[in-house]
Structure 1
Amino acid sequence: MLSAIRSYLLPAVKLYLLGLKVLLAQLCSRPVRLPVMPRQDGKVAIVTGGGRGIGYEVVRHMARLGAHVIIGGRDEQEGLVAVKRICEEYKEAKVEFKKVDLASLQSVRQFVQNFKERDLPLNILVNNAGVMLVPKGCTEDGFEQHFGVNYVGHFLLTWLLLDTLKDSGKCGHFSRVVNVSSSAHRISNITLNDLNSCQCYSAHAAYCQSKLAQLLFSSHLHQELQHGGFPVSSCAVDPGMVDTALYRHLWTPLRLAQSTIAHLLFRTPTEGAATVLYTALSPDLEGECGGGYWANGCREITRPPTFDPQLQLSLWETSLQLLGLQ
Structure 2
Amino acid sequence: MFTFFRCCILPAIKLYWLGFRVLLGQLLSKTFKLPDMPKQEGKVAIVTGGGKGIGFEVTLHLAGLGAHVIIGGRDEQQGLDAIARIREVYREAKVEFQTLDLGSLQSVRHFVQSFKKRHLPLNILVNNAGIMLAPEGRTEDGFEKHFGVNYLGHFLLTWLLLDNLKQSGTSDCFSRVVNVSSSAHCIGDLKLSDLNSCEYYSAHAAYCRSKLALLLFSLQLQRVLRAGGAPVSSCAVDPGMVHTALYQHMWAPLRLAQGVIAQLLFWTPKEGAATVLYTSLSPALEGGRAEDYWANGRRQMTSPVTSDPQLQLSLWETSMQLLGLQ
What range describes the TM-score normalised by the shorter chain of this pair? over 0.9
Q: What SS is found at the alignment partner of 2:248?
A: helix
Alignment correspondent of 2:68: 68
Alignment correspondent of 1:92: 92
Q: What SS is found at the alignment partner of 1:249?
A: coil
Q: What SS is found at the alignment partner of 2:126?
A: strand
Alignment correspondent of 2:177: 177
Are 1:32 and 2:11 matched, yes or no?
no
Contact 2:232 2:288 in 1 (8 A): no
Spell out the pairing of 1:14-163 with structure 2 (5 A cutoff).
Answer: 14-163=14-163
Query: CA separation in 2, counterparts of 1:59 and 1:6?
Result: 40
Q: By how many angstroms is 1:31 displaced?
A: 1.3
Amino acid at match of 1:248: Q
- Larger CA deviation: 47-56 vs 300-309: 300-309
Query: CA separation in 1, counterparts of 2:118 and 2:203?
Result: 39
Q: What SS is found at the alignment partner of 2:288?
A: helix
Q: By how many angstroms is 1:301 displaced?
A: 1.3
Query: CA separation in 2, counterparts of 1:302 and 1:51?
Result: 29
Contact 2:231 2:288 in 1 (8 A): no
Amino acid at match of 2:10: L
Q: What SS is found at the alignment partner of 1:287?
A: coil
Alignment correspondent of 1:278: 278
Q: By how many angstroms is 1:6 displaced?
A: 3.0
Alignment correspondent of 2:9: 9
Q: What SS is found at the alignment partner of 1:96?
A: strand
- Larger CA deviation: 101-110 vs 5-14: 5-14
Q: By how many angstroms is 1:304 displaced?
A: 1.4
Q: By how many angstroms is 1:141 displaced?
A: 0.1
Amino acid at match of 2:107: S
- Larger CA deviation: 25-34 vs 268-277: 25-34
Alignment correspondent of 1:201: 201
Spell out the pairing of 1:181-260 with structure 2 (5 A cutoff).
Answer: 181-260=181-260
Per-residue CA deviation, residues 202-238 of structure 1 (Å, 9 max, x unaligned), is 0000000000000000000011101100000000000
Alignment correspondent of 2:319: 319
Q: What SS is found at the alignment partner of 1:178?
A: strand
Query: CA separation in 1, counterparts of 2:207 and 2:312?
Result: 18
Q: Which runs of 5+ in 2 are unaligned?
A: none
Contact 2:218 2:235 in 1 (8 A): yes
**Cα RMSD between the aligned structures?**
0.6
Per-residue CA deviation, residues 141-194 of structure 1 (Å, 9 max, x unaligned), is 000000000000000000000000000000111000000000000001211000
Q: By how many angstroms is 1:260 displaced?
A: 0.8
Q: By how many angstroms is 1:240 displaced?
A: 0.2
Query: CA separation in 2, counterparts of 1:290 and 1:278?
Result: 9
Q: By how many angstroms is 1:287 displaced?
A: 2.5
Contact 2:54 2:273 in 1 (8 A): yes
Query: CA separation in 1, counterparts of 2:6 and 2:144?
Result: 21
Q: What SS is found at the alignment partner of 1:114?
A: helix
Query: CA separation in 2, counterparts of 1:51 and 1:224?
Result: 31
Per-residue CA deviation, residues 95-151 of structure 1 (Å, 9 max, x unaligned), is 000001000000000000000000000000000000000000000100000000000
Query: CA separation in 2, counterparts of 1:288 and 1:224?
Result: 12
Query: CA separation in 2, counterparts of 1:36 and 1:5?
Result: 49
TM-score scaled by structure 1? 0.99
Query: CA separation in 2, counterparts of 1:6 and 1:322?
Result: 28
Per-residue CA deviation, residues 256-295 of structure 1 (Å, 9 max, x unaligned), is 0000110100000000000000000001111231110000
Amino acid at match of 2:254: L
Amino acid at match of 2:149: V
Amino acid at match of 1:222: Q
Amino acid at match of 1:3: T
Query: CA separation in 2, counterparts of 1:321 and 1:6?
Result: 30
Query: CA separation in 2, counterparts of 1:39 and 1:92?
Result: 14
Query: CA separation in 1, counterparts of 2:242 and 2:48?
Result: 17
Identity of aligned residues (%): 71
TM-score scaled by structure 2? 0.99
Query: CA separation in 2, counterparts of 1:155 and 1:7?
Result: 26
Q: By how many angstroms is 1:303 displaced?
A: 1.1
